Homo-oligomer: A and B are copies of this chain.
Amino acid sequence: MAFELTEDLIEQIENLIEVGDNQSILNLLEDVHHADIAEILDEVTTEEATYLVKLLDSEKTSEALMELDEDYREEILDNLSPQEIADELNELDTDDAVDFLSELDEEIQRQVIDAIEDEDHARDIVEMLRYDDNSAGGLMAKELVRVRETWTVAGCVRKMRAQAQNVTRVHSVYVVDRTDRLIGRLSLKDLLTADAKSKISDIYIPNVDSVNVHDTAEDVARLMQKYDLEAVPVVNDSGILLGRITVDDILDFIRDEADEDYRMAAGLSQGVEADDTVWELTRARLPWLVLGLVGSLGAVNIMKSFEGALSVHPELFFFTPLVAAVAGNVGVQSSAIIVQGLANDNVTGSMWLRLLKEISIGLINGLALGILVVSFGVIFGFGWLLSSTVAVAMLSVIIVAALVGTFVPILLDWRGIDPAIATGPFITTSNDIFGILIYFSLAKLILGF
């Protein structure tokens, strides 16, 4: 059932473009889904993609363009006239149209908006450009089915038919009063099973979840997931129904958030893909590497200040990468657990209990690893005293690293900063420094040098 994009097909399309055989291209791509058209656009050159976008029906290419990478979409749009862009926008729901438009220069934006045929659509788009990307207003679409509480079921079905033409998928029917204030909803199932003569006011469900147009995207995502909503209506401060957000918009948002957390844990400072250019990949990677390096250079200076140990116990220096690695790994684990906990709202209970818990986990892990280190040290001839010193220092380092990894994200969250930035290289680096400082201080205390 699934469409298979073959090199043969791409070659065939490229040849047809070269000879300008438009009819054959149209026949070939007639039944191809817009998501597959997007894959084709991704495989051909920008010029060929532009050719296809101009040739194919806007209904299909507009949705295909939405699926493309932003940068690549911009390249293609640069080759289109404002009128051609407007034709594409005409076919999109307002939320997608706004995403599309907000990437263009303001001057071109104006020209495109002027060129949109449907004046209501243009007005909706202009209104939505005002909302923040990360708010309910930025996520919502204006297309929805709205009925008055005073209508009858039969009249409602009649009027809905007209409205439904403009709505790709009907999720819910929203019921409003005379002033367009949202007062409830109606499922299509209810309409199907209701008597044609009943009034909407008799059958609608008055209990409807809604979000304010200024709510954050995070809050909307949380609400929709908690209550398993497939669509949620958006209202302004007076309760007037403005639009609706559907689960697929939220799905994209959730994936982006998860990707971002993963990215930060891996020390990438911006969204990159394996296929980006060397320059884009470097820009994403270098900042955290520099931060990590600066931290490590601090650790070099700390070790230098303990160089007295070199003459007495040089083997201590063989264990510094081990101590740093353990501190880094423990810190990343602790921060990942707490960052996910904060995101899912399940960090509850008193801070003292959490402190006690982290210390217990640190003790257990530290004892287990300590036994391994001492066994290794004795077997490989580092002696009891030095091996035990390393083990005791490592135990302390583990506990400190776990506390740093746990409480730094919590503090950031309290201050309203995204705790995810405290994962990855940030935690690793600060734990490297702390770890080495604690390790040598304890070793000096025990071994005396």
Contact = CB atoms under 8 A, between A and B. Distances in A.
Interface of A: 1-2, 31, 33, 35, 157, 160-161, 164-165, 167, 169-170, 187-189, 191-193, 207, 209-211, 223, 225-228, 230, 247-248, 251, 254-255, 258-259, 261-263, 265-268, 272-275, 278, 281-282, 285-286, 288-290, 292-297, 299-301, 303-304, 307, 310, 314-315, 317-322, 324-326, 328-330, 332-333, 335-338, 340-342, 344, 346-349, 357, 360-361, 364-365, 368-369, 372-373, 376, 380, 423-425, 428-429, 432, 436
A161 B192 CA distance: 7
B348 A275 contact: yes
B337 A428 contact: no
A189 B166 CA distance: 11
Given A275-B347, A325-B429, A290 B164 contact: no
A281 B334 CA distance: 10
A195 to B, nearest CB: 11
Nearest to A285: B333
Nearest to A370: B293
A296 B273 contact: no
27 contacts: A1-B209, A33-B227, A164-B189, A167-B189, A169-B230, A230-B247, A251-B254, A254-B254, A263-B336, A265-B336, A266-B336, A267-B329, A268-B336, A274-B347, A285-B365, A288-B333, A289-B369, A290-B368, A292-B329, A293-B326, A293-B369, A296-B326, A300-B318, A307-B318, A320-B320, A325-B432, A329-B428
Given A290-B368, A292-B326, A310-B314, 16 more contacts: A31-B207, A191-B192, A247-B251, A258-B258, A265-B265, A267-B336, A272-B337, A285-B330, A292-B329, A293-B372, A295-B325, A300-B322, A303-B321, A321-B321, A328-B428, A329-B425
B255 A341 contact: no
Given A192-B161, A254-B255, A258-B255, A286 B325 contact: no
Nearest to A334: B285
B189 A333 contact: no
Contacts of A368: 286, 290
A332 B170 contact: no
A297 to B, nearest CB: 5
Given A160-B192, A360-B278, A225 B210 contact: no
Contacts of A225: 251
Nearest to A294: B372
Contacts of A321: 296, 299-300, 303, 320-321, 324, 432, 436
Contacts of A369: 289-290, 293
A275 B341 contact: yes
A248 B268 contact: no
Nearest to A398: B289
A268 B337 contact: yes
B275 A300 contact: no
Contacts of A192: 157, 160-161, 164, 188, 191
Q: Which of A304, A310, A332 has the most CB of B within 10 A?
A: A332
Contacts of A227: 33, 35
A267 B360 contact: no
A35 B31 CA distance: 42
| Residue from the set A310, A320, A357 with the largest chain B CB neighbour count within 10 Å | A320
A405 to B, nearest CB: 10
